[in-house]
Amino acid sequence: METIATEFEVLDERFAGVGGDDRMEVLHRGARWAEGPVYFPAGRFLVWSDIPSDRLLRWDEMTGAVGPFRSPAGYTNGNTLDREGRLVSCEHGGRRVTRTEHDGSITVIADRWQGRRFNSPNDVVVRSDGSIWFTDPPYGILSDYEGHAADQEIDGCHVYRADPVTGEVRMVAGDFDRPNGLAFSLDERRLYIADTPGKHVRVFDVADDGTLSGGKVFAEAEDGFDGLRLDNTGRVWASAGKSVLCFDPDGTVIGRLRFPEPTSNLVFGGLKRNRMFITACTSLYSLMTNVTGARPIWARR
């Protein structure tokens, strides 16, 4: 197994106790642009996207084997799990959000808003009420590299919510340049959303009916942000350039984990949710940490 030195950098005393393996494992190399890692606790495996190669890959925790999960894969980008452990994916190619059922069939959750096709759904999260929230920048329609070159049908790049009962798709935030990664706070009363060209993460208050308010800048980074995750203390971990940055809930950047190539996303997994998986350009990295990833509300009951 190839490994590289782990480089944690303490930027604030609140990060001083954070650590993990001295060396990170390189679980796979050879992707064109790795993205969207999602860990399946029931099967103890990880699935992630290689967008330009139009495939999903699978890493098995028990054997260490890497193999195909789905190809073609609709130029899938972001992935997550719903309350029933089903894969929910953002497909650039189909310009849609889909769910993979337990029998392997595909259900389309959303592919249009007000009759117009999305740009290219990018990242997705599921709230405890079953609602599905996703961002919609244009990366998959700008060229044929990460999808299919096409005209933009919607004026702008927005954030949407799909209702779990009616299927209604509602725009919840429409003042972004190119929204990207998103994550709920531990109590789901706040929603963090990255705006990559804006080089910041904004935070919104979430009402019971799914309405967003606020939207102040929570954090900034020179390299811009991509994927976001929370740990069980409420700290926000964000991929940004050749780093994964850690932010205190008050928005202060307190720590950094350095990488030799640009990072795109991360997820906590493993038996105790203390194994961090990071997709970074061509590679998939992993390290055991003394940090525990946040569990969804439905998994804490």
Q: Out of 179-188, 264-273, 290-299, which region has the weakest mean confidence (pLDDT)?
A: 290-299
Amino acid 184: pLDDT = 98
For range 201-217, the mean pLDDT? 96
Residue 150 lies in a domain: yes
Residue 197 lies in a domain: yes
Domain count, the chain: 1
The reply, when asked if residue 122 is annotated as ligand binding, is yes
Distances from the Cα of 295 to the Cα of 43, 102, 140, 189, angstroms: 17, 22, 30, 15
Residue 298 lies in a domain: no
**Average predicted confidence (pLDDT) for the chain:** 97
The reply, when asked if residue 146 is annotated as ligand binding, is yes
Residue 148 lies in a domain: yes
Bigger pLDDT: 297 vs 189: 189
Domain that holds residue 99: 3-288
Amino acid 236: pLDDT = 98
Amino acid 180: pLDDT = 98
Amino acid identity of 218? F
The reply, when asked if residue 82 is annotated as ligand binding, is no
For range 41-62, the mean pLDDT? 97
The reply, when asked if residue 261 is annotated as ligand binding, is no
Amino acid 301: pLDDT = 60
Residue 60 lies in a domain: yes
Of the pLDDT bands very low, low, confident and very high (cuts 50, 70, 90), residue 297 is: confident
Give the residue numbers marked as catalytic: 226
176-185 pLDDT per residue, tens: 999 999 999 9
Residue 298 confidence (pLDDT) above 80: no
CATH code of the domain containing 192: 2.120.10.30
Residue 300 confidence (pLDDT) above 80: no
Of the pLDDT bands very low, low, confident and very high (cuts 50, 70, 90), residue 56 is: very high
Residue 176 lies in a domain: yes
The reply, when asked if residue 77 is annotated as ligand binding, is no
Of the pLDDT bands very low, low, confident and very high (cuts 50, 70, 90), residue 212 is: very high
Residue 270 lies in a domain: yes
Amino acid 299: pLDDT = 75
Distance of CA 48 to the CA centre of its chain: 10
Kindly report each contact of residues 139-147 with a partner whose C-beta sits within 8 Å and lies 24 or more positions away, as own/partner.
139/77, 139/92, 139/178, 140/75, 140/77, 140/92, 140/93, 140/95, 141/92, 141/95, 145/52, 146/33, 146/51, 146/52, 146/75, 146/77, 146/92, 146/120, 147/51, 147/75, 147/92, 147/93, 147/95, 147/120
Residue 295 lies in a domain: no
